[in-house]
Amino acid sequence: MRIIRYIEEYRAQWEDFVSNSKNGTFHLSRSFIDYHGTKFNDHSLLAFDEEELVGVLPMNESGKEVFAHQGLTYGGWILSSEIRLHEFHELFKCFLNYLSNQGFEALHYKTIPYMYQQLPSQEDLHMMHLAGAVCSGQHVNPVIIPSNVPNFQERRIRGMKKALKEAVRVEVSENIYAYYTIVENLLKAYHSKPAHSREELIDLKNRFPNEIILHAAFVGNEMCGGILCFETPNCVRFQYIASTLEGKEKGALDLLFATLIQETYSKKNYIDFGTSTNNQGASLALGISQQKEGFGARTSVQPIYTLALNSVNWDALNAFVS
């Protein structure tokens, strides 16, 4: 097994591999990663078994630490559907040796949530366990299975009916500019701001016009709410859920949520509402959590691991395959 650092000449091979992997999505493509520009010091990796590419890892470095990956919602080893557990075991040991040889002292490792995987792909979780990694954080993500949605909360149903009475309509929109203003104004009230700039969001939408879709609510010609949807084969993720004061009063988001759950994405395996916690799971955003659960979302978690590279449990790792 051979681990090498990503360079631009591997771009086409990376993109093709992610598209055909068992757990990759467009979030993990170079086109998505590279929208950050030089914000992160990229140190992504490729793993080869002889000449065959079997895994890629989006990763960045900061000082003596590496992160998989600070600029991405989720990350971790993206793997071939043909790789077997004993082969990934060998890959993982080579990976840790590579990091140590590069002089890194700590690995911070996000995981790819199960609902985004085309095939089960949790080999890395077991290897992190054997190596002695600690769970240093955990995002809490409310998730819906559209084929088995609990009853909507009565409050949400009332909001949906009010929106219909107020002639709120839901449709796909290309007006990212107007939508971003709504998001910006909403977060400003909480002394916060969007993770993406307006220009970054427009850039991402242009890079992935078929995967990033804005579903918006309107009163007349005026946008009063929206949800940016990131579509992958198994799962759609709701990003930047926001409305104006008028939209809130008229139940615009209630109608928008109901439409997306019951109609637009009713055939998806999962709907990911995004995190409802702050500080890597340390505190609950109660109002946000209650809103999402009001539509039937229930808790899933996305662990984040930290591994000190000078205290890897090599005895446990080596004993796993004898």
**pLDDT for position 152:** 93
pLDDT per position as a tens digit, 47-96: 999 999 999 999 999 999 999 999 899 999 999 999 999 999 999 999 99
Q: Looking only at Cα atoms, what is the longest distance across the chain?
A: 68
Domains 2-138+302-320 and 146-268 share a fold: yes
| Domain boundaries, given as residue ranges, for the chain | 2-138+302-320, 146-268
pLDDT per position as a tens digit, 125-134: 999 999 999 9
For residues 255-280, give the mean pLDDT: 93
Q: Is 190 a residue whose pLDDT tops 80?
A: no
**pLDDT for position 37:** 80
pLDDT per position as a tens digit, 34-61: 988 888 999 999 999 999 999 999 999 9
Report d(CA 31, CA 125) in Å as an integer: 26
Q: Which of 280, 244, 238 is nearest to 259 (CA)?
A: 238
For residues 176-184, give the mean pLDDT: 93
Mean pLDDT of the chain: 94
Fold entry, domain 2-138+302-320? Aminopeptidase (3.40.630)
User: What is the value of pTM for the model shown?
Assistant: 0.91
Report d(CA 36, CA 196) in Å as an integer: 10
The correct CATH number of 146-268 out of 3.30.360.10, 3.90.1150.10, 3.40.50.1220, 3.40.630.30 is 3.40.630.30
pLDDT per position as a tens digit, 205-233: 999 999 999 999 999 999 999 999 999 99
Report d(CA 241, CA 260) in Å as an integer: 12
Report d(CA 90, CA 94) in Å as an integer: 6
| Contact (Cβ atoms closer than 8 angstroms) between residue 204 and residue 27 | no
